[in-house]
Amino acid sequence: NAGVMQNPRHLVRRRGQEARLRCSPMKGHSHVYWYRQLPEEGLKFMVYLQKENIIDESGMPKERFSAEFPKEGPSILRIQQVVRGDSAAYFCASSPSVSLNSPLHFGNGTRLTVT
């Protein structure tokens, strides 16, 4: 039973380019969360999605950032016109239930470096 799969593991982009981060949740999980982490810091919530719906995007910057979780295929976190401050590790987590007492299953993250 495959876990949460994120790709790419490492992504290097020059300022102004676009970054696309992909997340395939665990089989049977329809709830996806994206978190951002800076070195030696905790995780900052960005967005929570269910299939085809954005439920909570309160942690995501309103400009340049977007997320989707289509009916078929992985969830995508898209960052347009990247800047150096976007450099971070981006983690995706999935859950089988809307209940926050259910554990989140995390992927191993995408490390974005903006040069």
Partner 1 sequence: TQLLEQSPQFLSIQEGENLTVYCNSSSVFSSLQWYRQEPGEGPVLLVTVVTGGEVKKLKRLTFQFGDARKDSSLHITAAQPGDTGLYLCAGAGTSGSRLTFGEGTQLTVNP
User: Binding of partner 1 at residue 72 (CB under 8 A)?
Assistant: no
Comparison of 48 and 79: residue with beta carbon closer to partner 1: 48
Percent helix, strand and coil across the chain, each to the nearest 5: 5, 50, 50
Tokens 């987590």 belong to: 93
Helix/strand/coil for 8: coil
Alpha carbon 48 to chain centroid, angstroms:
9
In the list 7, 74, 104, 113, the residue contacting partner 1 (rule: CB under 8 A) is 104
In the list 21, 91, 112, 114, the residue contacting partner 1 (rule: CB under 8 A) is 91
Footprint on residues 30-59 left by partner 1 (CB under 8 A): 33, 35, 40-45, 48, 55-56, 59
Q: How many other C-beta atoms can be found within 10 angstroms of the C-beta atom of residue 94?
A: 24
> Which residues contact partner 1 by CB under 8 A?
4, 33, 35, 40-45, 48, 55-56, 59, 91, 93, 98, 100-101, 103-109
